[in-house]
Amino acid sequence: MLLLADCPERLTGLVPAWSPAPPASLDASDRAVWRALGAGDRLWQATGAEPAPSGFWSRGLVVAEARASQFDVLREALAGGWTPPGPVACAALAGRAFHGQRGRPWLAGSGNLHLCAAFPEPGLSARDAASLPMLPAVAMVDAIRAMTGGVLRPGIKWVNDVLLGGRKVGGFLTATQIQGERVSAALVGIGLNVSTAPPVPPTPFVPSVGSLAEAGARASWTDAWVAVLAALGRRMTEIAGAGPAGVLDAYREASLVVGQEVCVFEEEPVGGESSPESPPRLRHRGVVRGIEKSLALVLEGHETPVTSGRLAFAEHCRPFGL
């Protein structure tokens, strides 16, 4: 795995040694993505130990500060024809314009993991594309368990929140490109609060925010980078080789919503956020009885599975008058 970074002094323990590498010395593909990420001419490279199945990751890029959302940058690069030599992981220690689903802001915190990964030609059929949102969720659960020796047991709140003790510690985004009957590229974005919990006003959807450190984990940024990449590599290899059934089982096992009464609301406009003064429209309420392969929710008393919307546990919906 080739590592490229503009801040090697801050990546303690990742590799034993770094070498200067002017951007002009990179091949065209590496130079294009390095420039697209907004990085400058300060660049070092190293060969890192494989954090996943042997030979899985081709590149790892780390910048001290991202000028824009790396998820958006990589999605635009893929749409513009960028073809990396293999799976590529990009991380920023800090940055601006990070966001979650539907443009909701994601605040960067010192020591936290802000990671995007691109998978060219992941070996998936188009019919399995709907299952890809399971990948980063299950990978984060795997990684947190691995970092803490199984002491911390995170759970997944449908569809894209990872919680510890009721507090949100992670979230994720996914995107795919489909050509014909195959997925030509997949992209995931992961935010994991390792060291700090950013100040986020409570809402029924995210009542509180936490971090691994607050939950008692002694994990560093480097620990999180290695554990998350290892989990992503294993789970993507599993999906490509055997289909999504095993990852779906893991998603269901880690689900926090099955058996719980929930409220599912209409999504806010892109970039918007609800408030008690301007609540979203309630679409469904009921006890979750199951999760389908497509991640649709099966609610008791509802004939049609719920495929979209923003979920809150019923106990947290009082600010909306419910």
Above 90 in pLDDT, residue 277? no
Number of domains in the chain: 2
Above 90 in pLDDT, residue 260? yes
Same domain membership, residue 147 and residue 275: no
Whole-number CA gyration radius for the chain? 19
DSSP reduced 3-state for 211: coil
Same domain membership, residue 267 and residue 200: no
pLDDT band at 104 (very low <50, low <70, confident <90, very high): confident
Query: ∠ at Cα 254 (252, 255), nearest 5°?
Result: 65
d(CA 317, CA 80): 42
Lowest mean pLDDT among 38-47, 169-178, 283-292: 38-47
Which pLDDT tens digit goes with each residue over 228-240? 999 999 999 999 9
Same domain membership, residue 267 and residue 247: no
Listed residues 197, 229, 254: the one ending a domain: 254
Give pLDDT, residue 270.
Answer: 60
Give pLDDT, residue 227.
Answer: 96
Same domain membership, residue 290 and residue 153: no
Which pLDDT tens digit goes with each residue over 52-64? 788 899 999 999 9
Above 60 in pLDDT, residue 276? no
Residues 269-288 have a mean pLDDT of 76
The edge-to-edge listing of strands for the beta sheet with 310-313 is 297-299, 282-291, 261-265, 310-313
Listed residues 209, 225, 254: the one ending a domain: 254
- The CATH number of residue 160's host domain is 3.30.930.10
Residue 118 to residues 65, 139, 184, 187, 220: CA-CA distances in angstroms? Answer: 19, 15, 11, 5, 23
Give pLDDT, residue 17.
Answer: 92
Which pLDDT tens digit goes with each residue over 149-159? 999 999 999 98
Above 70 in pLDDT, residue 108? yes
Give pLDDT, residue 100.
Answer: 85
Same domain membership, residue 196 and residue 215: yes
What is the sign, positive or negative, of the torsion defined by CA atoms of 205, 208, 212, 217?
Answer: negative
Measure CA 49 to chain center.
22
- What domain range includes position 45? 2-254
Give pLDDT, residue 320.
Answer: 82
Beta strands in 55-137 (DSSP E): 59-66, 88-95, 113-125
Residue with tokens 């697209």, as numbered in its chain: 36
Long-range contacts of 158-164 (CB under 8 A, 24+ apart): 158/255, 158/257, 158/262, 158/288, 158/291, 158/295, 158/297, 158/311, 159/133, 159/295, 159/311, 160/100, 160/101, 160/133, 160/136, 161/206, 162/137, 162/192, 163/256, 164/210, 164/212, 164/215
Same domain membership, residue 38 and residue 102: yes
Query: Would you give the DSSP letter of residue 209?
Result: B
Above 60 in pLDDT, residue 272? no
Same domain membership, residue 143 and residue 24: yes
Residues 266-274 have a mean pLDDT of 67
Of the candidates 121, 254, 114, 123, the one whose C-alpha atom is nearest the C-alpha of residue 189 is 114
Same domain membership, residue 268 and residue 150: no
Same domain membership, residue 6 and residue 150: yes
Mean of all residue pLDDT scores within the chain: 91
Give pLDDT, residue 273.
Answer: 60
Above 60 in pLDDT, residue 214? yes
Lowest mean pLDDT among 38-47, 210-219, 273-282, 297-306: 273-282
Listed residues 254, 281, 308: the one ending a domain: 254
Residues 253-261 have a mean pLDDT of 97
pLDDT band at 271 (very low <50, low <70, confident <90, very high): low
Helices (H), 243-272: 245-254
Query: ∠ at Cα 274 (273, 280), nearest 5°?
Result: 125
Same domain membership, residue 296 and residue 159: no
pLDDT band at 278 (very low <50, low <70, confident <90, very high): low
Which pLDDT tens digit goes with each residue over 169-183? 999 999 999 999 999
Give pLDDT, residue 228.
Answer: 97
Same domain membership, residue 227 and residue 104: yes
Above 90 in pLDDT, residue 221? yes
Same domain membership, residue 38 and residue 80: yes
pLDDT band at 162 (very low <50, low <70, confident <90, very high): very high
